[in-house]
Structure 1
Amino acid sequence: MSIVQDKILTPEMKYTTQRNWSSTRNKSRSFFDQTTAIGTITIALFGYIVYQFVFPLIAKGILW
């Protein structure tokens, strides 16, 4: 017999999974989650970098 004994489950102690996977947030029309926020910030940062640093180099003829 091992030091750690397996837990014996009776029918009343069965592990169950949650059946209600949908949350109340998903029912709303405007769904703004963390992934959307991070994606928006990333696109805004990329646009800022292009506008402030890359575009002036192209306009002066240094880049291309």
Structure 2
Amino acid sequence: MGNYTQREWRLSQSPSKSRADLGQTAALGGTTVALFAYIVYHFVYPLVAKGLLF
């Protein structure tokens, strides 16, 4: 076997790629929070208000 040097793949990414990854993560997190808020507001809150859940 010949000599093989292992390269870290993260070192080759440009800063703009990391910013794009962070933006995509933030968008996915925001969508998740918005969906959770929608479910709570439209399905859970009316049950609590009517006294059916608690």
TM-score range, shorter chain: 0.5 to 0.7
* CA displacement at 1:37 relative to structure 2: 1.4
* CA displacement at 1:23 relative to structure 2: 1.4
- TM normalised by structure 1 equals 0.55
Give the secondary-structure state (helix, strand or coil) at the position aligned to 2:52.
coil
Give the AA of the match of 2:49. Answer: A
Superposition RMSD in Å: 2.5
Q: Corresponding residue for 1:24?
A: 15
Give the AA of the match of 2:42. Answer: Q
Larger Rg: 1
Percent identical residues: 40
Please list every run of 5 or more consecutive structure 2 residues that lacks an aligned counterpart in the other structure: none
Give the structure with the larger helix fraction: 2
Matched ranges for 1:5-44 at <5 A: 9=2, 17=7, 21=11, 22-25=13-16, 26=18, 31-33=22-24, 35-44=25-34
Question: 2-side partners of 1:40 and 1:53: how far apart?
Answer: 20
- TM normalised by structure 2 equals 0.63
Q: Corresponding residue for 1:53?
A: 43
Give the secondary-structure state (helix, strand or coil) at the position aligned to 1:62.
coil
Aligned residues: 50
Please list every run of 5 or more consecutive structure 1 residues that lacks an aligned counterpart in the other structure: 1-7
